[in-house]
Structure 1
Amino acid sequence: MTYVVTDNCIKCKYMDCIEVCPVDCFYEGENMLVIHPDECIDCGVCEPECPADAIRPDTEPGLDKWLKVNADYADKWPNITARKEPPADAKDFDGLEGKFEKFFSPEPGEGD
């Protein structure tokens, strides 16, 4: 089991989860974060920290797509270990449907 970041992180990109991760398994894209599934120790401390409720255990049904997105982009994006401020308009995007198709960017973030 691992945890995965899902589409509600897109354009919200809150980073509360990063501060509590004991193994630094988060990676930063331009407009979302992902968890490296091979580095995650399944401790679950990140899940309740996400204000957008975008982190889920991969054992929940229907998350195969997100496990693949997290695995693929964790290998391409820079590691991030320190919290940054979310985008100023993050609350405007929290809870919107279809964010992956409309807003996902494959570009990397800045990392640490």
Structure 2
Amino acid sequence: MAWLALFLAGLLEIVFAFSMKLSEGFTRPGPTAITVVSLIGSLMLLSVAMKALPLGTAYAVWTGIGAAGAFAVGIVFLGEPMTALRMLAAALIVSGIVLMKLAAE
């Protein structure tokens, strides 16, 4: 259950980052509201996951999911560049998430 909560928290972090970008500095009410709600939900789920998972593992996986997911959303929906170096960086983040999961078992 902790890993599911952590995964969902990471997904909400992606929503948070994307909607914050769309809020244009919190000047657009709709994306601003989504930003606030998704941030609160993400933190609540992270706190649930931290009841059972080590702090370092939970936090690293949460931020990793958010970082890699925001990277992908930026490329797919915002037309951000997909360079080889950025792809390598994203692959290293995902590798770190996988290693943290394996180390926690």
TM-score (norm 1): 0.26
Structure whose residues are more often strand by fraction = 1
TM-score normalised by structure 2 residue count: 0.28
- Work out which structure has the larger RCO, using CA pairs closer than 8 Å and 6 or more positions apart in sequence: 1
Q: Look at both structures and tell me which one has the larger radius of gyration over its CA atoms.
A: 2
